[in-house]
């Protein structure tokens, strides 16, 4: 399978994602430039974290108009896998590929720390390698990670089981101090209805090696890799 990591002006974590995929997971991965049209031949596109366009105006607001994003929207419509991490999540929301919006942390401060996530749904390409209720320890680092959706949307998200991760404490329980940004319903990551577009505030790429304190982030990347391989097999057989 082939991964594409999109580089916007102001992206910061593209190298982290690249190194994790290339050197830890030995994947085939390439950077894609925001100003180019999207090339064919990718199985999963990653929109990395950072501060595209300085996060000026609203996080993700300007990046979504980059030329490459037209291709991303089409790619997603055809069922391609799209993973947005942090700023990437914000861009996907602004672009309408994911519901809701990420607003300023309720503390009004940037927050950088380790958090625990509870895996809520496993029937997506992003989470299939995990178990329901499983805990992942990942870092967050963002100033605008407070997820918000209006009550109807939120109800739909729950009904369709689109909430893939929630912030919990070290024992897997919802707790006041566990949610780092005030997200509604402790939401840390959601997918679209088609379950092929996923946005996540914490950073799996920064928790992919023991020496960095956690390898839990690999769960997400290896789920995606497994899902793509399965698809390839099905195509070959079918």
Partner 1 sequence: MSQAERFQPSLTPEVIASHGLTQDEYQRIVKLLGREPNYTELGVFSVMWSEHCSYKSSRRWLKSLPTDGPAVLQGPGENAGIVDIGDGLAAVFKIESHNHPSFIEPYQGAATGVGGILRDVFTMGARPIASLNSLRFGAFDDPRTRYLLCGVVAGIGGYGNCVGVPTVGGELFFDECYNSNILVNAFTLGIAKKKRIFKGRAKGVGNPLIYVGAKTGRDGIHGATMASEAFSEATEKRRPTVQVGDPFTEKLLLEACLELMEKDCLVGIQDMGAAGLTSSSAEMAARAGTGVELELSLVPLREQGMTPYEILLSESQERMLLVARKGSEDEVKRVFGRWDLDAVVVGQVSRGRLFRALFHGEEVVRIPVEALTSGAPVYNRPVERPEGHDEVQRLDLSKVREPEDLGAVLRTLLDSPNIASKEWVYRQYDHFVRSNTVVAPGADAAVIRIKGTEKGLALTADGNSRYCYLDPYVGGVLAVAEAARNLASVGARPLGLTDCLNFGSPEKPEVMWQFSQVIQGMRDGCVGLGVPVVSGNVSFYNETDGRPIHPTPVVAMVGLLLRVARCVTPWFKSPGDLVVLLGRTREELGGSEYLKVVHGLVRGTPPWIDLKLERAVQQCCLRAIERGIVRSAHDVSQGGLAVALAECSIGGTERAMGARIETQEMMRADALLFGESQSRIVVSIKERDLGRLKEIAAREGAPLRVIGVVGGTRLIIQPLIQVPVEELKSIWSSSLERRLK
Partner 2 sequence: MRVKIFVSLKEGVLDPQGKAVERSLHSLGYGEVGEVRMGKYMELSLNLSSREEAEARVREMCARLLANPVIEDYRFEIQE
User: Residue 149 binds which entry of partner 2, partner 1, none, with Cβ cut-offs from 5 to 8 Å by kind?
Assistant: partner 2
What element of type H or E holds 222? helix 218-237
Report d(CA 7, CA 50) in Å as an integer: 10
12 binds partner 2 (CB under 8 A): no
Q: Which residues contact 7 (CB under 8 A, 6 or more apart)?
A: 14, 31, 32, 33, 34, 48
Q: How far is CA 199 from CA 77, 175, 237, 238, in A?
A: 16, 22, 31, 31
193 binds partner 2 (CB under 8 A): no
172 binds partner 2 (CB under 8 A): no
Report d(CA 2, CA 230) in Å as an integer: 14
User: Residue 104 binds which entry of partner 1, partner 2, none, with Cβ cut-offs from 5 to 8 Å by kind?
Assistant: partner 2
Catalytic: 215? no
Question: Which residues in the 105-164 window bind partner 2 by CB under 8 A?
Answer: 105-108, 148-150
Using CA of residue 87, residue 89, residue 91, residue 93, what is the dihedral sign? Answer: negative
94 binds partner 2 (CB under 8 A): yes
Nearer to partner 2, 24 or 61 (CB): 61
User: Residue 110 binds which entry of partner 1, partner 2, none, with Cβ cut-offs from 5 to 8 Å by kind?
Assistant: partner 1
Q: What is the 3-state secondary structure (H, E, C) of 201-217?
A: CCCHHHCCEHHHCECCC
**Residue of 182, 209, 212, 215 interacting with partner 2 (CB under 8 A):** 182
What element of type H or E holds 34? none
Catalytic residue positions?
Answer: 86, 203, 205
- Contact positions toward partner 1, by CB under 8 A? 9-13, 15-16, 19-20, 49-51, 53-56, 109-114, 139, 141, 143, 203, 205-206, 208-209, 211-213
- Contact positions toward partner 2, by CB under 8 A? 53-54, 56-58, 61-62, 65, 94, 100-101, 103-108, 148-150, 182
């Amino acid at each position: 399978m082939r991964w594409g990591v999109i580089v916007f002006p102001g992206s910061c974590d593209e190298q982290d994602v690249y190194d994790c995929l290339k050197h830890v997971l030995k994947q085939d991965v390439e950077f894609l430039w925001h100003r180019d049209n999207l090339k064919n031949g990718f199985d999963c596109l990653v929109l990395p974290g950072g501060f595209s366009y300085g996060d000026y105006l609203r996080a993700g607001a300007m990046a979504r108009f980059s030329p490459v994003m037209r291709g991303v929207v089409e790619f997603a419509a055809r069922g391609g896998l799209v993973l947005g991490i942090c700023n990437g999540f914000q861009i996907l929301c602004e672009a309408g590929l994911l519901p809701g919006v990420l607003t300023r942390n309720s503390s009004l401060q940037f927050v950088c720390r380790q958090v625990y996530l509870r895996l809520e749904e496993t029937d997506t390409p992003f989470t299939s390698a995990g178990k329901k209720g499983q805990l992942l320890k990942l870092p967050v680092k963002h100033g605008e990670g407070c997820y918000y959706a209006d009550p109807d949307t939120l109800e739909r998200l729950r009904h369709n089981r689109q909430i893939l991760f929630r912030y919990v404490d070290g024992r897997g329980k919802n707790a006041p101090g566990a949610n780092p940004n005030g997200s509604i319903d402790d939401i840390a990551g959601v997918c679209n209805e088609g379950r092929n577009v996923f946005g996540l505030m914490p950073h799996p790429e920064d928790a992919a090696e023991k020496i960095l304190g956690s390898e839990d982030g690999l769960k997400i990347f290896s789920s995606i890799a497994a899902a793509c391989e399965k698809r390839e097999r099905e195509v070959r057989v079918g």
